[in-house]
Copies of this chain bind each other. A is one copy, B any other.
Amino acid sequence: MPAQPPAIDEDAVRPDSAASTVGGPSFSPLYRQIKGLLITRLQAGEWKAGEAIPSEQELAARFGVSQGTVRKAVDELAADNLLVRRQGKGTFVATHAEEKIQYRFLRLTPDKGAESLGRQLLDCKRQRAPAWIAKLLQMRAGDPMVEVRRLLHSGGAPVVLDEIWLPGDLFKGLTVEKLSQHRGPFYGLFEAEFGVHMIRAEEKIRAVAADADSASHLQVPEGTPLLSVERLSFTYGDKPVELRRGLYNTANHFYRNELN
């Protein structure tokens, strides 16, 4: 049997169809092209967050490749946390909405216990993006932007002061009401209401001294050392869609990380 038999479907993939780019990578295996197609469909919203995608057999038939090739593409997407496999049930679009207990991107851990976090919305304004934010979000300075500020509490005490900046065009109907009425992580709301999936983020962490404003919100003396966590979140196609700056009081919590 030839390794790459003729395709049988309009969706079918041509071997090396992505390899003809001059100066590009010299070789792109079939399963990576399948992976690309699946990402395109996820991006287009063909399957919603939390829904099942078609079975491997069906995808294999649709793309005109063997099940093993689809499997390898899906394996990578599952490793990237874009999909979640559940044996006997199917493969599902990953979502931040139903993550049990913990917020997927929040690395804050209490020294003891595991109380859940309470949220308090401070404000939500529409503004024009300053240059430094626009640059990180790949917008133009002055473009419309949403700014949200909030507090996270643990056992009654404020622990995190967050500032969140979002591109105005992607989050058109975002209001204080929607944010405050919503249960669970913001990222769940973003998926359901705006079709924006956060799939990856980069954080820059520093130690800073609390200024007057943050000190009063976090109920600590001015000058208290705080963890500054600047997070840039990306959606499909490595497009940055959220900038966040959190100030963490690490008196009774720490930022947990795992190195491999």
| B-binding residues in A (CB < 8 A) | 79-81, 104-105, 107, 109, 199-209, 223, 225-228, 231, 248, 250, 254-260
Contact = CB atoms under 8 A, between A and B. Distances in A.
Contacts of A226: 207, 225
A200 B250 contact: no
A259 B205 contact: no
Nearest to A249: B207
Contact of A256 (B109, B202, B223): B202
A260 B204 contact: no
Secondary structure dominating the interface of A: strand
A255 B200 contact: no
Nearest to A208: B225
Counted per complex, copies of this chain come to 2
A229 to B, nearest CB: 9
A226 B256 CA distance: 17
A201 B258 contact: yes
Contacts of A254: 204-206
B80 A260 contact: yes
Identify the 3 closest CB pairs spanning chains A and B, nearest first. Answer: A225-B225, A207-B225, A206-B250
Contacts of A227: 205-207, 227
A105 B260 CA distance: 8
Contacts of A231: 259
A233 to B, nearest CB: 8
Contacts of A199: 260
Nearest to A257: B203
A81 B257 contact: no
A202 B250 contact: no
